Amino acid sequence: GDVEHRLLFAFGANDCATADPRAPGIARLPPEATLANADLILAGAVGLAPTVMIGPAPIIDDEAADARIGRLERELAAVAERRDVPFLPIFEWCRGCRAWTEGAAKNDGTHPDGSGYAALAGYVLDWRPFRRWMGLDPGP
């Protein structure tokens, strides 16, 4: 039968991670490159299938990278808005989510344990544009 395709994008945190531990102020990828890539990806995606985007999560144990991620999330939201793609910011939510931060602290400082990801999944599932995208909520 027919398959209904959907596209969800979530990226940016790894781009902001420190490229070299000896130079903590330098990200792996300049933000301009991340934003240009996001714009190209979203421009193509919206013509293929219903598309949503989720912002980057914090790294937790790298304050310099987290400052870059916070700025990048706001800029990615603007790119998504220009492309008429629903965007869910998660950076501050993750920083304020005990399951996320404690799970990341117990793990590698970046990736939480299952409880952190379960909390994030619940947050995403509560986002109305995601529910509509999944066909769980009718209407605008």
Calpha distance 17→26 (Å, rounded): 8
CATH of domain 7-133: 3.40.50.1110
- pTM (2 d.p.): 0.89
Is the CB of residue 46 less than 8 Å from the CB of residue 85? yes
Going residue by residue through the chain, which has 140 residues, state the pLDDT in tens, using 9 for 90 and above: 677 899 999 987 777 777 776 766 677 778 898 899 999 999 999 999 999 999 999 988 778 888 888 999 999 999 999 999 999 999 999 999 999 999 999 988 888 999 999 999 999 999 999 999 988 887 66
Q: Are 93 and 87 in contact (CB under 8 A)?
A: no
